[in-house]
Amino acid sequence: MKEIYQRRSIRKYTEKEISKEDIEKLLKAGMNAPSAHNKKPYQLIVVQNKETLKKLSDTCIFSKMLEGANAAIVVCSLGDDKETPYWQADCGAVTENILLEATSLGIGSCWLGGYPDLEKTGKEKEILGIPEEYKLFCTISLGYPAEERKPNDNYYPEKVHYEKF
């Protein structure tokens, strides 16, 4: 449970390489997320090439940290509203699992929004050769932390309702 609180968005990274084994652990954590009707409607793209990371960092002012990242995992989906109407929830669950596994491995991460920003994701899709019919759900920036952030300790009573709204 501690990873839930320790996970923070980390946007500054050291040069240290994330190993192939750890990348696979991150992917596996994502693949063990719950999924509506167990359809698992996602594809995961691992990016470690520095030039590609730089190109991705230039797609949006809020993605700049990718330039210094060691890796990114891009979560995309066919996002068929008839066959997989819960694709966004499924991709969100995959993403959160990857963030939590990253935290447990001491790897910093940041969830970078994708869909429904079609302008930004259009540029990212082109860079990554993602087929037209796929939607890019999000990009996860990854690297060993070069910044320290306090664990979260949030609780919002005004958001809680017992029995009825």
Ligand X SMILES: Cc1cc2nc3c(=O)[nH]c(=O)nc-3n(C[C@H](O)[C@H](O)[C@H](O)COP(=O)(O)O)c2cc1C
Q: Which residues bind ligand X (CB under 6 A)?
A: 8-9, 11, 62-63, 110-113, 152
- How far is C-alpha 2 from the chain's CA centre? 19
CB of 114 to ligand X, least distance (A): 8
Nearer to ligand X, 85 or 113 (CB): 113
Tokens of 104: 């447990």
DSSP string, 38-97: G----EEEEE--HHHHHHHHTT-GGGGGGGG-SEEEEEEE---TTT-TTHHHHHHHHHHH
CB of 109 to ligand X, least distance (A): 9
d(C-alpha 137, C-alpha 43), whole Å: 10
Nearer to ligand X, 19 or 152 (CB): 152
Nearer to ligand X, 111 or 134 (CB): 111
- In the bound state, the residue with its beta carbon closest to ligand X is 113
CB of 131 to ligand X, least distance (A): 23
d(C-alpha 88, C-alpha 115), whole Å: 9
Nearer to ligand X, 111 or 144 (CB): 111
